[in-house]
Amino acid sequence: MKKIKSSILVIGLVFSVAINSQTNNLTSSPYSLFGLGVESSISSGRNTAMGNTGIALDASNGFNLYNPAAFASMLEDNFVLEFGVTSEMVNISNSDINESRNTYNFSNISVGYSRKKYGVGLTLKPSTNIGYELIGLENNIEGSNDTFSTNITGSGGINEMRLDYGYKLTDNLNLGARFSYLFGKVEETESIIAASNYLEIYDETYYSGARFGLGAQYNLSENHRFGLTLDFPTSLGAKQSSLVIKYNLESSSTLEDTTDERINSFDLPLQLGFGYSTKFNNILFTTDYNKRFWSNTNQTDAIGDYVDQDIFSLGVSYKINPKSRNYFERVDYRLGFNYNSGYLKIDDTKIDSFNTSLGLGLPLSKNSSLNFSYTYSNRGTTEDILVQERSNMFNINLTLSDLWFQKRKYN
């Protein structure tokens, strides 16, 4: 009981810190201006290094957040705590600019436990990230030759608090369900500067809503596993608070001040995922395909169009000898590739991305590990008015596992 009480105290403290940390920028992408921002690409320990695959992977080596059915394969009577941090270095370029930006922040925290037939987990992670700056936009004042300058900055994103449950229906079939509560805010500041006037516009938009998903995993044989996921469409309700202040050489005045005004909700699409994994000697191969039906949401945006999204992922991991007494022979070496077509289309051009990842899983004890991953990503293009992003992302993830529930054999 002392161990359980101490663990609950630590979990509560870490969750509190994590929720507050989510107010900081987790991206420097100008494409986060679109919709609710760019999708978070960081997940649990080994999945990130394996190309963000996991629909057909088990959870015997830590959490697998890509399929709730995987929670049924957690080691029996184990309590697991996982916490990660990430840093991102982004280079942004087009025909006119070439600049670099850095961000650092908390990435995810998960806790869970398992019994004989089931496993359950609670996770807090970023779902989308926003962090953009548009500086020195020049425009003409209508009806005159004078110009004004505009600076726009945005930050925030959407967080996901998720409960996963997996149940072992038969020796070969696991079923799962997940319930997510999505919440967060988007902050935008716009400064408009003219010859004798200065206009400051502050907007804070709060989003919240729930989502439900299902998953299944089937073992065709000892070395062949298939996975399926389904996430139902949902709408996130939105409230906006706005403040508009006008400054001139002598005074200032408030032009608008509204609080919690209802605005259009944001729709998330139906998502389908298929996965396959196979093991050959000590090499594990896994591949995923995800389809997101954004065009069915019938949403519009002033910047571009929402289009259906396809994500293809491939991952490999290798251990020289998992049962060896030699430490380095038990290290898990990981590699992954990922193509994301994106859901944004600007001037008939899709904003897609190519990602390559690699990593290590360093064993700390029998079921605990320290996971490192590096991901190189190339998003966008320099054609027309678009920009190209080249990012280097580093993630450190700690997975701690301990036996609970078992009775003492000796006093």
Q: What is the 3-state secondary structure (H, E, C) of the chain?
A: CHHHHHHHHHHHHHHHHHHHHCCCCCCCCHHHHCCCCEECCCCCHHHHHCCCCCCCCCCCCCCCCCCHHHHHHCCCCEEEEEEEEEEEEEEEECCCCEEEEEEEEEEEEEEEEECCCEEEEEEEEEEEEEEEEEEEEEEECCCCCCEEEEEEEEEEEEEEEEEEEEEECCCCEEEEEEEEEEEEEEEEEEEEECCCEEEEEEEEEEEEEEEEEEEEEEEEECCEEEEEEEECCEEEEEEEEEEEEEEECCCEEEEEEEEEEEEEEEEECCEEEEEEEEEECCEEEEEEEEEECHHHHCCECCCCEECCEEEEEEEEEECCCCCCCCHHHHCEEEEEEEEECCCEEECCEECCEEEEEEEEEEECCCCCEEEEEEEEEEEECCCCCCCEEEEEEEEEEEEEEEECCCCCCCC
* pLDDT beyond 80 at 243: yes
The answer to whether residue 410 is domain-embedded is no
Residue range 315-356, pLDDT digits in tens = 999 999 888 888 888 999 999 999 999 888 877 788 889 999
The answer to whether residue 145 is domain-embedded is yes
pLDDT band at 142 (very low <50, low <70, confident <90, very high): low
Global pTM exceeds 0.75: yes
Domain at 79, CATH number = 2.40.160.60
The answer to whether residue 411 is domain-embedded is no
Mean pLDDT of the chain: 84
The answer to whether residue 22 is domain-embedded is yes
Look at residue 7 in the predicted model and tell me its pLDDT. 46
* Mean pLDDT, rounded, for 265-279: 95
Stretch among 110-119, 233-242, 379-388 having the lowest mean pLDDT: 379-388
pLDDT band at 210 (very low <50, low <70, confident <90, very high): very high
Total domains, the chain: 1
pLDDT band at 8 (very low <50, low <70, confident <90, very high): very low
Residue range 85-131, pLDDT digits in tens = 888 888 887 766 777 777 777 778 889 988 889 999 999 988 888 88
* pLDDT beyond 90 at 218: yes
The answer to whether residue 408 is domain-embedded is no
The answer to whether residue 409 is domain-embedded is no
Range of the domain at 186: 2-403
Residue range 355-375, pLDDT digits in tens = 999 999 999 887 788 999 999
More confident residue, 406 or 391: 391
pLDDT band at 236 (very low <50, low <70, confident <90, very high): very high
